[in-house]
Amino acid sequence: MESAGDTLANGADNPGSLTPYDVREGHGVDAGSAVGVDEIHARGMRGHQELTGPGSRHVHVLEVEDFGTARFQGCNGAHRTTLIPAPPFARGGRMSERTALCIVMRVTASQEAPARATKTVAIAGASGYAGGELARLVLTHPDLELGALTAHSNAGESVAVHQPHLAAHPEIAGRTFAPTTAADLAGHDVVFLALPHGASGAVAAELAALDPATIVVDVGADHRLVDPQEWRRYYGSEHAGTWTYGMPELLHAGEAQAAAQRAELAVTRRIAVPGCNVTAVTLALQPGVAAGLVDSGDVVSVLTVGYSGAGKAPKANLLMSQAHGAAVPYGVGGVHRHVPEIIQNLTRSGAPEVGLSFTPVLAPLSRGILAVVTAPVRAGVTKEDLRAAWETAYDGEDFLHLLPAGQWPTTASTLGANTVLMSLDLDERAGRVVITCALDNLVKGTAGAAIQSLNLALGLPESTGLPLLGVAP
């Protein structure tokens, strides 16, 4: 069956309102109403003045007994309502669109759409920034139901106290954090691990033994890197193994648009969410790498980074008195743990080698990343060539947007949204492409990427439950 689309009066006289009763009869269509109608039968229909309201021009009674499935076309401002049938009438007749109708409709009990099967979700590390953002997005997702919320040092404490922005939701009221144990996380369809690096691997291993069918999404770093030696070099512990990389838009070598990574995510039960800085740099540069337009051996990236990505640890450098009015570099000189992950991604996109200078700078922002990425262009590459490559790579992407030439992104425009805004230009004198890329490090940089990847693993539309609109200014 088809359902009626939005039925709008478009300036016509107020035609009353379509109100379902016990017999599911309606008396009209109100301006601006959205009406769902599955089957319409003409039995016992009569003209009714309330359908069109004052000033109605035409009232006709139909003698047709069965319309079949039909849909409404809105009142067009000419004081008439048009009913357009989808198939021919069951008795062989057709209704003319030109017939001005005012009818009382008996609407048969519509066949209810099958209920969407929700998946239960547990979040480990739900007292932190990333865990809280995951909870926020899960609570508004039509196919996910929030289950256990766990914490380490905050176990037993109120969820609303630690995540006050969620306190008004009825599923949060009165809840406390459970301990972060495999036993508390087991029994769910999905488990998010929003834990510090080095902690996810052990919990994931225990979960695999208890509940192997569960989809596990690591929002931490433990399962991102392919090379165990790179893990040991940057993280100083044993590698926990490599999971499917949670960046659907990642270009593989030879691809003009991302498809291979999405295919991998669609069949996995283990997902490793990228680092937030990694997401910004990778998405900024990969179209040029995949198209062979840039020299990946000399990539320079400087990022302005909000404090939310640094966690809630009570460290002196994270206090407002230290952060306010100051910009502070960190992870300088190639030691930042996101370096090998960026190199890994650009290599996957087709870079023969990657030379990367990466410098993040903490700025007095609660959230957001603005990455400025530059790289030499190949001989003969023009500004038009560069723009065409980025436009091709990101054409049709729900969350990645290349701004018009001359417009530069801001972090404010992405706050609360799973979007990435970027722009590029060619510094002809330096022979380098300059890409600026803005995103919310807690949404697209973390929790949004996790849910986006999970949607693919669950067979859902990739954008389900994810915000497209920022909250700026």
CATH class of 119-270: alpha beta
pLDDT confidence bin for 319, thresholds 50/70/90:
confident
pLDDT digits (tens, 9 = 90+) for 72-116: 333 333 333 333 344 433 334 444 443 333 333 333 334 555 566
pLDDT, the chain, mean: 82
Residue-wise pLDDT tens digits, 417-441: 999 999 999 999 999 999 999 999 9
Cα gap 389→260, rounded to integer Å: 18
Q: What is the pTM of this model?
A: 0.77
- Alpha-carbon distance values, 376 to 14, 287, 289 (Å): 63, 14, 11
Cα four-point dihedral sign 323, 198, 158, 454: positive
pLDDT in tens, 257-288: 999 999 999 999 999 999 999 999 999 999 99
Distance CA(182)–CA(191), nearest Å, equals 10
Burial of 294 (0-12, 13-18, 19+ CB in 10 A): buried
- Residue 127 carries which DSSP code? T
By annotation, the residues acting in catalysis are 276
Whether the Cβ atoms of residue 350 and residue 380 lie closer than 8 Å to each other: no
3-state DSSP assignment of residue 139: helix
Which pLDDT belongs to residue 45?
39
In the chain, where the domains are located: 1-113, 119-270, 276-442
pLDDT at 111: 53
Answer whether residue 144 shows pLDDT above 70.
yes
CATH number of the 276-442 domain: 3.30.360.10
Q: Tell me how crowded residue 94 is: count the other CB atoms within 10 A of its CB.
A: 10
pLDDT at residue number 352: 96
Kindly tell me if the per-residue pLDDT of 21 is higher than 90: no
In tens, the pLDDT along 340-382 reads: 999 999 999 999 999 999 999 999 999 999 999 999 999 999 9
